[in-house]
Amino acid sequence: MGRRSRVPAVDELARRLVDALPPGPVLLVGHSQSCQVVAAAAVDPRVVGVVLCGPTTDPRMRRLRVLAVRWVRTALAEPWWQVPLVVGQWLRTGPRAMRALWRAASPDAIEERLAAVTAPVVVVRGERDALCPADWAARVAGAAPEGRLVELPGAAHMVVQTHPAQLAAVIRAL
């Protein structure tokens, strides 16, 4: 987010992430579309755990209309103080870059990538998150050999900002 240049492919972003990792052990955490990159990088042997917060590449959202409806439903479920943060982020990024990011990430099959991850994987979603519905989150968690799902009561999509203590507890437990 915040970039107006070309959006690299998920595999390229994952390669960059892996190249930047310390010697290990490493716990990777992704939020929203960055879950794709984390899932692709998670096969690295230094990775001992993965937390995916609200993975957003549910194939049912590939149509713009479905994505827009779910985005609005989720935005309305967020606390009021999130609105200026999210709108500011979208304005800095711009609609062209957002479309390019979605085109790069949405067709990526995160479930297939997670099948090869040997580290424990925790998928975290807010119970009010329409961008990461419960059935999709369960499917993603179930794709990992050691996957599990955690739902945060009262949360929507921005769990990193709205429920940091609960998310930190999930990370610490991993």
Name which residue leads in pLDDT, 7 or 119. 119
pLDDT tens track for 85-99? 777 776 776 667 767
Least confident of 9-13, 42-46, 81-85: 81-85
Name which residue leads in pLDDT, 119 or 89. 119
pLDDT tens track for 42-79? 999 999 999 999 998 888 877 777 777 777 777 777 77
The whole-number average pLDDT for the span 134-153 is 97
Q: Give per-residue burial for 100-114: e unless 16+ CB within 10 Å, then b.
A: bbbebbbebebbebb
Name the nearest CA neighbour of 122 among 20, 9, 29, 3.
29
Q: Is the dihedral of CA 157, 101, 98, 87 positive or negative?
A: positive
Average pLDDT score, the chain:
86
pLDDT at 63: 74
Q: Which residue segments constitute the domains of the chain, with CATH numbers given?
A: 10-173 (3.40.50.1820)
pLDDT at 7: 74
